Amino acid sequence: MKKKTLNRNTRKNFATYGLVIAAYAVLQTMTVTGSITSSLKGMLVPICAYVVMAVSLNLTVGVLGELSLGHAGFMSVGAFTGVTAAMALQNAIPSPALRLLIGMAVGAVFAAVAGVLIGIPVLRLKGDYLAIVTLAFGEIIKSIINNLYVGVDENGLQLSLLTNKLALAEGGKIIINGPMGITTIEKISTFTAGFLLVMLTLFIVFNLVNSRSGRAIMAIRDNRIAAESVGVNIVKYRLMAFVTSAAMAGAAGTLFAMNYSTIIANKFDFNTSILVLVFVVLGGLGNMLGSIIAAAALTILPEALRQFADYRMLIYAIVLILVMLITNNPVLKGYLDIIKGKLTGRAKKPAGPTPEGGAENGK
């Protein structure tokens, strides 16, 4: 029985990899042959960034079972630190791909540090404290960056808070300019980089979930007291999942920011955090493939609805409600299971808890 579950998991993981690779291959072919619309082409990198955001938040919400309402805060930390690093190294490293890689690594590290700082006190507590603290964290980060001035000259990076007191040497340039954010970003994010980041994120998440640590994390989610009683180090494993999630969000932030010539702190507000949470909830808690599809679909949807002009946000809302209705409709669910059963050649008990469904039943 146990072997069978593992197999199904592995199969699903490979199906997820396969789908992402197939989507990349199709879109890349379309880009090369020029049959893609500018509108879709412009959305490829943001979609990758949102997919990484959704998958990483799913690790916190679905696998760890903790609510985070400030995931955009980590994205913000990653975006601003990553872009600053890439811009500061503009002259030192000529290769844009390498600079992007370093930017994403720096973004991931800073977001991880922020994750550790929040996680150490909060993850020791029981209850919904993480949701409250991450909510505050998102707002604090927004406020700090709105008052932060960073410049670079031949002497290196210079920082100033509240007002612009930077005294840059000749040839120096200002990078983060308070509420104006970063305005002179060189666009070096590419769809290929986004694709690789998505693959890396999936690889990390799948391997973490299927490892001994992953089982410990899920054990904590399902029953904290039981897990504690068999000697699982609660704080360590919760921190592990949370910090991994934060680091990936940081890398996604850098990818996202490097796709636009400008980025402001107010972009990563509470609404963005909730948007990512919507991707996760709509795709299914703990279901990475669902998160990927939801993130891509909900990023494209508002753009696809542009032709409806003023009705667009209304239709967007109706679609969201419909998806919720349909996926929770027992009749349709029954049909879906029959189709699934026919496709995979095995009948599945409709009410049986799947490994992914555990999150919903767990808490």
**Residues binding another protein (CB under 8 A):** 37-39, 41-43, 46, 142-143, 146-147, 163-164, 178-181, 183-184, 187, 260-267, 302-303, 306-315, 318-319, 321-322, 325-326, 329-331
232 vs 265 by CB, closer to another protein: 265
Dihedral, CA of residue 130, residue 135, residue 140 and residue 141, to nearest 10: 90
* Residue 38 C-beta: closest distance to another protein, Å: 4
What separation in angstroms does the CA of 312 have from each of 132, 270, 316, 325? 32, 22, 6, 20
14 vs 308 by CB, closer to another protein: 308
34 vs 156 by CB, closer to another protein: 34
* Residue 161 C-beta: closest distance to another protein, Å: 12
β partners of residue 84: none
Distance of CA 234 to the CA centre of its chain: 24
Dihedral, CA of residue 244, residue 246, residue 251 and residue 255, to nearest 10: 140
For residues 219 and 213, give the distance between their C-alpha atoms in angstroms, rounded to a whole number. 10
117 vs 317 by CB, closer to another protein: 317
* Residue 318 C-beta: closest distance to another protein, Å: 5
Where helices occur in the chain by DSSP H, the ranges are: 2-33, 38-58, 71-88, 96-122, 129-146, 191-209, 212-222, 224-229, 234-257, 270-283, 288-304, 312-327, 330-344, 358-362
* Residue 308 C-beta: closest distance to another protein, Å: 3
12 vs 41 by CB, closer to another protein: 41
Instruction: 38-44: list long-range contacts, CB under 8 Å, 24+ apart.
Output: 39/303, 40/300, 43/299, 43/300, 43/303, 44/191, 44/194
* Residue 332 C-beta: closest distance to another protein, Å: 8
* Residue 307 C-beta: closest distance to another protein, Å: 5
51 vs 112 by CB, closer to another protein: 51
The structure tokens 């699934």 sit at: 340
